[in-house]
């Protein structure tokens, strides 16, 4: 057994504010060497902890490229499914955030397909009904067309065309021009009730 002792001077700085009496401590050499090794490893660990940690730069680039790849896959899935309109893409994105599913499982989902179909049907109905114009009497509509009044005309006892009394006077010339283009010499013998 190694019985050599090493003497170390230790100052107690807490009691005397940094100016203390020196105490002598005897420690066996084996313990002293072990304490120095432990002290050295603790100093290295402290030094490593004080160093600022550098984040690996490959991670953000990898995540960014992964996000771009996922975005491209989403676009391809939408294209294959025939989803092009903004409201349909919005429904897809809502499904994606709500369910957390991948694009191919969303576009293959029967419930999602039914929602897209309902959305398209509602849009087609809205578009079809938005072009309907009512109130032809208010805007004139068909009644301002000479063909309307020609169709309303009846043949009199003498075989000549007779137009109803409500035929607008500003259309007489248009009606006559239309009829003369179809049948020459018929416009000469036309009579209106209100003349």
pTM (predicted TM-score): 0.38
Give the whole-number percent of the chain exceeding pLDDT 70: 72
Q: Which stretches of 34-156 are assigned E, i.e. beta strand?
A: 154-155
Q: Are 116 and 145 in contact (CB under 8 A)?
A: no
Q: What is the pLDDT of residues 167-189, one digit of tens each?
A: 888 888 888 888 877 765 554 55
Q: Give the position of tokens 């050295």.
A: 40
Residue 190 CB coordination number (10 Å): 17
Q: What is the pLDDT of residues 40-90, one digit of tens each?
A: 888 888 888 787 776 655 555 666 788 888 888 888 888 888 888 889 899
Q: What is the pLDDT of residues 79-88, one digit of tens each?
A: 888 888 889 8
Residue 63 CB coordination number (10 Å): 10
4-18, 99-113, 155-169, 178-192: which has the minimum mean pLDDT?
4-18
Tokens of 167: 């035929």
Task: Report the distance separating Cα 83 and Cα 101, nearest Å.
Answer: 17
Backbone angles phi, psi at 131, to 5 degrees: -90, 0
């Amino acid at each position: 057994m190694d019985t050599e002792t090493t003497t170390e001077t230790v100052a107690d700085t807490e009691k005397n504010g940094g100016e203390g009496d020196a105490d002598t401590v005897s420690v066996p050499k084996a313990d002293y060497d072990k304490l120095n090794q432990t002290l050295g490893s603790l100093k290295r660990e402290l030094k490593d902890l004080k160093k600022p940690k550098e984040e690996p730069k490959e991670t953000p680039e990898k995540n960014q490229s992964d996000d771009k790849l996922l975005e491209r896959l989403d676009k391809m899935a939408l294209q294959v499914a025939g989803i092009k309109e903004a409201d349909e893409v919005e429904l897809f994105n809502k499904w994606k955030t709500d369910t957390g599913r991948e694009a191919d499982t969303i576009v293959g989902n029967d419930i999602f397909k039914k929602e897209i179909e309902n959305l398209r049907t509602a849009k087609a109905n809205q578009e079809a009904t938005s072009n309907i114009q009512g109130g032809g009497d208010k805007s004139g509509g068909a009644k301002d067309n000479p063909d309307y009044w020609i169709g309303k005309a009846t043949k009199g006892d003498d075989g000549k065309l007779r137009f109803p009394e409500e035929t607008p006077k500003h259309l007489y010339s248009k009606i006559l021009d239309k009829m003369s283009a179809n049948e020459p010499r018929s416009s000469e013998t036309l009579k209106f009730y209100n003349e």
